[in-house]
Structures are given as C-alpha cells and as structure tokens.
Amino acid sequence: MKKPAPKRKIQKAKPAKRTAPRSVSRRTDDLTIGLKKILVPIDFSDHSKKALRYALPFALQFKAELVLMYVVEPTIYPSDFGFGQVGFPDVEKELHEKAKTELQELLKTSVPETVNSSSVVSTGIPFVEITTYAQAENIDLIIVATHGRTGVEHILFGSTAEKIIRKAPCPVLVVRAEEHDFINERA
C-alpha cells in the first residue's frame, strides 16, 4: 500500500515593496499628459464611429485638435490581355470626393463645434498612410477601431489596427467592437 503524501503548509507570499526606478528624476505629481493632436482613422463602419466616440472626450478634456482620416485604397484590377494590372484613376477620384463629403458630414453630426476638428483623405495602403501622416503632422495619439476578425479572414486580410500599432510614431488606443465601455454619457 502507498503511503499518503504528507500535507504541505502553503505560505502566502509577502507583497513586494514597490520602489520607483532610480532613473525617475521627478515625482509623479509633476507629470501631466499633453495631447495636442488626436488622429482617428475612419472607414465609416460602426466600429470606427465607436473609436470617434472615444476620441471626443479626449479632445474635449485636453483641448486637442481632432483629425478624422479616411484612406482610399488604390483600385487595381488584373488584366486579361497581358498588360499587367490596370488602375482606374476616375474611380479613385470619385471615392476621394465621396470620402471628403462623408467626413464633413460626420464632423457636422458627431463632433461638437467646441472641438477643433478637421478631416483628411489620402490614397494608399491604410496603415502606411495613417502612420506616415501621424509622423508628418506630429500626432500625439491615434485612436483606432479593430473589427475583431479572426481565423481565415484575419490571415487573408490582416489587421490594419495591428499594423498601425507596430508602426505608429505615437501611442495608439485600440477600441474593440465588443468591450467594456468606459465612456459615460452626460444627461
């Protein structure tokens, strides 16, 4: 017969004493957050409009400029005649103009007049255009939505939000489609 294993006493670990790293030269009371420009990439989906909802309190609280950005992806179609890929500049121009109009409408309906806001439309690969713009315009924060794609869809299309996080020259706040909201609506 086997002997039962002896009971072990479990000791609770003592909480570690937290000390500031030596490299910290200021007290935390002296630290502030200075947001001057916030970029919100918009694709007119409900997800991206949720990111805009998150951006508004930041813009109001920090008196920051809010920039909405839409990126028109180049329209390229394969050719059957051996000439390679064919682009349609008229389609891109039309999409560009439509996006400008839609962004202006979104600014009118969703952004209070007290918020300094603007919009920009660019053409190219979305994450490249967004991160390049953020670098060139000294954006302090990007607030981007993620569509929450998984599986094959994620493998095929990737995540623009993920690529922005990797390449962004500034902090990025990612707003998930299904999450705990921390925005309180005022009555």
Q: Is residue 70 part of a domain?
A: yes
Number of domains in the chain: 1
Q: Is residue 185 part of a domain?
A: no
CATH of the domain at 144: 3.40.50.620
pLDDT of residue 105: 95
Q: Is residue 184 part of a domain?
A: no
Q: Is residue 186 part of a domain?
A: no
* pLDDT confidence bin for 11, thresholds 50/70/90: low
* pLDDT confidence bin for 114, thresholds 50/70/90: very high
Please state the pTM of the whole predicted model.
0.74
Structural domain span for residue 60 = 34-176
Give me 146's structure tokens.
């993620």
* pLDDT confidence bin for 187, thresholds 50/70/90: very low
- Secondary structure, 3-state, the chain: CCCCCCCCCCCCCCCCCCCCCCCCCCCHHHCCCCCCEEEEECCCCHHHHHHHHHHHHHHHHHCCEEEEEEEECCCEEECCCCCCEEECHHHHHHHHHHHHHHHHHHHHHHCCCCCCEEEEEEECCHHHHHHHHHHHCCCCEEEEEECCCCHHHHHHHCCHHHHHHHHCCCCEEEEECCCCCCCCCCC
Q: Is residue 25 part of a domain?
A: no
